[in-house]
């Protein structure tokens, strides 16, 4: 076999293989962090609140979630320690929206490493600039609207005689909605970077929360009818009307809550507790 044939048979395939490996490496460096590492970051973010502390609040949980991404971005231990130290600063926001900040932080760290320029202080600026607004937004929607809506729905189910189905169903619904939102927030934050705030604004969570609070008021009415019906059916008479009138006043307070500052969440839990107690004791 001639030298040219041997070269064509052995050397060229090796060269092509090396070219393929080189292209793969370049592609990997362009795309940045692998999906496996991103999944590790997201799973760790679910434990964000476990290391909450009085001094810097969610900083340990945030740095713990960022660790796999920083390990992939910074092969040099000293640079990795510096990056991890950046994320040990004070941080505190709503845990569901903290995942969005986490995705944006991974995005900004990756851009900084890939392009080799850009101030690393931009990551800290984004975190400190959004954590207050995101905290208020998350508290108002998830804990002030969605959770009370699920609680009142479960209370209505208990009052109707389906306690297990109502409680488990409401919990599963809340769990699925919040997990889906956190997954979307993390992926959108990683893909869009700081521009993800525009996508979050288009969701219009305050308006959706207002409709959920109105749904709570409807559940207040259903719970009122159920409580009065149970007590009246037992010959409660005056007691039934007094309790019914009290709950109706609670409903009126809920309707006026946005004007006079009454907490819809508090009214939700009090009314639901009364309904569950009455259904358990008198049914």
Three-state SS sequence of 224-260: HHHHHHHHHHCCCCHHHHHHHHHHHHHHHHHHCHHHH
Whole-angstrom Cα distance, residue 73 to residue 192?
A: 18
**Hey, which of 44-53, 138-147, 180-189 has the most confident mean pLDDT?**
180-189
Is the confidence at residue 271, as pLDDT, over 90? no
DSSP state of 177: H
Whole-angstrom Cα distance, residue 67 to residue 44?
A: 9
Query: Are the C-beta atoms of 174 and 182 separated by less than 8 Å?
Result: no
Backbone φ and ψ of 74, nearest 5°: -120, 90
Query: Are the C-beta atoms of 72 and 37 separated by less than 8 Å?
Result: yes
H or E element in which residue 163 lies: helix 163-192
The model's pTM? 0.73
Query: Are the C-beta atoms of 135 and 92 separated by less than 8 Å?
Result: yes
Q: Given CA atoms 143, 38, 113, 60 in this order, what sign does their dihedral have?
A: positive
Mean pLDDT within 81-85: 88
Q: Where are the beta strands (DSSP E) in 91-151?
A: none
For residue 263, count CB atoms less than 10 angstroms from its CB and return exposed for 0-12, middle for 13-18, buried for 19 or more.
Answer: middle
Backbone φ and ψ of 253, nearest 5°: -65, -35
Is the confidence at residue 53, as pLDDT, over 70? yes
What pLDDT is stored for residue 3 in this prediction? Answer: 31
What pLDDT is stored for residue 43 in this prediction? Answer: 94
Confidence of residue 223 (pLDDT cuts 50, 70, 90): confident
Confidence of residue 68 (pLDDT cuts 50, 70, 90): very high
């Amino acid at each position: 076999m001639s030298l040219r044939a041997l070269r064509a048979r052995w050397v060229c395939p090796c060269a092509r293989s090396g070219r393929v490996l080189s292209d793969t490496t370049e592609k990997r460096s362009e795309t940045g962090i692998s999906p496996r590492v991103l999944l590790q970051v997201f799973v760790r973010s679910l434990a964000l609140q476990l290391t909450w502390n009085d001094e810097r609040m969610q900083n340990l949980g945030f740095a713990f979630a960022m660790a796999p991404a920083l390990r992939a971005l910074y092969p040099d231990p000293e640079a990795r320690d510096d990056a991890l130290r950046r994320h040990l600063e004070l941080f505190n926001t709503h845990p569901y929206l903290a995942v969005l900040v986490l995705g944006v932080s991974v995005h900004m760290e990756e851009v900084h490493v890939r392009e080799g320029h850009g101030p690393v202080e931009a990551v800290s600026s984004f975190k400190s600039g959004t954590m207050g607004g995101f905290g208020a937004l998350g508290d108002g929607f998830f804990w002030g609207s969605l959770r009370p809506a699920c609680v009142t729905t479960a209370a209505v189910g208990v009052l109707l005689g389906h306690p297990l189905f109502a409680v488990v169903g409401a919990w599963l619904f809340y769990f699925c909605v919040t997990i889906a939102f956190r997954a979307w927030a993390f992926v959108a934050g990683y893909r869009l970077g700081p521009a993800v705030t525009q996508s979050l604004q288009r969701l219009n969570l305050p308006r959706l929360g207002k409709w959920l609070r109105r749904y709570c008021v409807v559940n207040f009415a259903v719970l009122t009818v159920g409580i009065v019906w149970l007590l009246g059916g037992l010959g409660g008479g005056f007691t039934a009307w007094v309790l019914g009138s009290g709950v109706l006043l609670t409903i009126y307070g809920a309707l006026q809550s946005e004007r006079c500052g009454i907490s819809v969440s508090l009214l939700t839990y009090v009314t639901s507790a009364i309904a569950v107690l009455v259904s358990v004791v008198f049914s």
